[in-house]
């Protein structure tokens, strides 16, 4: 749950007074135009940036993300998996090593089991047999999927996706959407997606917030399809209809 969150870089406020909550096992979309603060909100949610004001609560935690002691916050962050916009795979490691590293760090199993687990995670995203490839040797879509395999390495409760469709062709993007739905249904994870791709938003989103860069505020929240059907705010309609006003 996000309560009265204000995000800023120094004196420059990005978004103010955000309030929303994400339910378990839902796919929650953070949407908005370029520069509206979507990625900044994601950085706040995953503990990379401290809010200027307000609190971020996670279920099972004793206090807000930035109010708790560092060791407790680190334990909480281990429940998250993050897929970054560019994949952010460690370029000096193979895909297998990328996926295995988090498991090795927390010693969740022996070396052989970790290797098998890494292969399994890569297999889940359709990259079986690519364990020994380096990030530079695979395509953009494969990089995203490998990043997703790494994000799933520690069996996270919550998966965060930063612009998963960015830079992908429509078919690869659609496959990634299907994969996200599969993961939610099979792993039971809560998924938070930052995106402005309308096709993805309507295909996978259960709930959403829409950020507006001009007013520096959240201007809508709810199921994206319902927002399209029911919202009377021209800004919301303009965003959900690619600048038009027709709901058709």
Partner 1 sequence: MEHVDLEYGRTPDGTLHVALGGDWKLARGIPALRGVLEEIEKQPPPQRVVLETSVLAGWDSGLLTFLLAVLSRCMQLGVEVDRQGLPKGVERLLALATAVPARRNSRSPRSESILASVGDAAITWSRGCRDTLAFIGEAFLALVRLFTGKARFRRSDLLLVLQGCGARSVGIVALINFLVGIILAFVGAIELRTFGAQIYVAHLVGIGMLRDIAPIMTGIIVAGRTGAAFAAELATMEANQEIDALRTLGIAPMDFLVLPRLLALSLMMPLLCLYADLVGIAGGLVVSASMLGISPVQYLLETRHAVGLNDLFLGLFMGFVFGVLVALTGCMRGVRSGRSASAVGEATTSAVVTGIVSIVVATAIITFISYVLGI
Residue ranges in 120-149 that form contacts with partner 1 under rule CB under 8 A: none
In sequence order, which residues have a C-beta less than 8 Å from that of residue 114 and are 6 or more positions away?
Answer: 100, 103, 104, 108
**Nearer to partner 1 among residue 88 and residue 181 (C-beta):** 88
Residue ranges in 171-230 that form contacts with partner 1 under rule CB under 8 A: none
Residue 146 is encoded by which pair of tokens? Answer: 């490998």
Give the CA distances from residue 87 to residues 78, 135, 146, 237, in Å, rounded to whole numbers and listed in that order.
18, 9, 7, 31
DSSP tag of 137: G
Q: Which of 1, 20, 82, 17 is nearest to 51 (CA)?
A: 17
Nearest distance in Å: CB 229, partner 1: 29
Q: Which of 129, 125, 127 is nearest to 151 (CA)?
A: 125
**Nearer to partner 1 among residue 150 and residue 231 (C-beta):** 150
Tell me if 85 contacts partner 1 by CB under 8 A: yes
Residue from 48, 116, 199, 229 binding partner 1 (CB under 8 A)? 48
Question: What gap in Å lies between CA 239 and CA 150, rounded to an integer?
Answer: 32
CB 87 within 8 A of CB 166: no
Stretch that binds partner 1, among 85-93, 166-174, 210-218, 235-243 (CB under 8 A): 85-93
Dihedral, 74, 75, 79, 82 alpha carbons, nearest 10 = 10
Q: How many chain residues interact with partner 1 (CB under 8 A)?
A: 24
Residue from 91, 139, 214, 215 binding partner 1 (CB under 8 A)? 91
List, as own/partner pairs, every contact residues 74-78 make where C-beta atoms lie below 8 angstroms and the sequence separation is at least 24, other chains included.
76/47, 77/46, 77/47, 78/106, 78/154, 78/156
Residue from 4, 74, 169, 230 binding partner 1 (CB under 8 A)? 74
Sheet holding 2-9, edge to edge: 12-20, 2-9, 53-56
Stretch that binds partner 1, among 1-9, 86-94, 173-181, 202-210 (CB under 8 A): 86-94
Residue from 30, 41, 89, 95 binding partner 1 (CB under 8 A)? 89
Residue from 5, 22, 27, 82 binding partner 1 (CB under 8 A)? 82
CB 184 within 8 A of CB 191: yes
Residue from 32, 37, 54, 102 binding partner 1 (CB under 8 A)? 102
**Nearer to partner 1 among residue 154 and residue 181 (C-beta):** 154
Tell me if 78 contacts partner 1 by CB under 8 A: yes
Residue from 101, 166, 181, 198 binding partner 1 (CB under 8 A)? 101
* Footprint on this chain of partner 1 (rule: CB under 8 A): 43, 46-48, 74, 77-78, 80, 82, 84-86, 88-92, 101-102, 105-106, 150, 153-154
């Amino acid at each position: 749950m996000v309560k009265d969150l204000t995000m800023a870089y120094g004196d420059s406020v990005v978004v103010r007074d955000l309030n929303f909550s994400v339910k378990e096992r839902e796919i929650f979309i953070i949407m908005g135009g370029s520069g509206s603060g979507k990625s900044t909100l994601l950085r706040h949610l995953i503990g990379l940036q401290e809010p200027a004001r307000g609190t971020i609560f996670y279920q099972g935690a004793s206090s807000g993300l930035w109010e708790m002691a560092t060791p407790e916050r680190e334990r909480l962050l281990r429940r998250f998996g993050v897929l970054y916009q560019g994949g952010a795979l460690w370029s000096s490691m193979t895909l297998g090593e990328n996926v295995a590293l988090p498991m090795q760090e927390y010693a969740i199993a022996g070396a052989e089991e970790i290797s098998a687990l890494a292969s399994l995670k890569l297999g889940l995203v359709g990259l079986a047999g690519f364990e020994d490839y380096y990030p530079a040797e695979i395509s953009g879509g494969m990089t995203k999927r490998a990043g997703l395999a790494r994000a799933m390495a520690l069996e996270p409760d919550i998966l965060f996706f930063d612009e998963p469709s960015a830079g992908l062709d429509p078919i690869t993007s659609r496959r990634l959407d299907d994969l996200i739905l599969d993961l939610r249904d099979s792993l039971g994870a809560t998924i938070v997606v930052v995106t402005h791709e309308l096709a993805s938003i309507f295909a996978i989103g259960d709930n959403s917030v829409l950020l507006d860069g001009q007013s520096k505020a959240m201007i809508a929240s709810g199921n994206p399809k319902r927002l399209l059907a029911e919202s009377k705010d021209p800004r919301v309609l303009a965003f959900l209809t690619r600048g038009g006003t027709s709901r058709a």
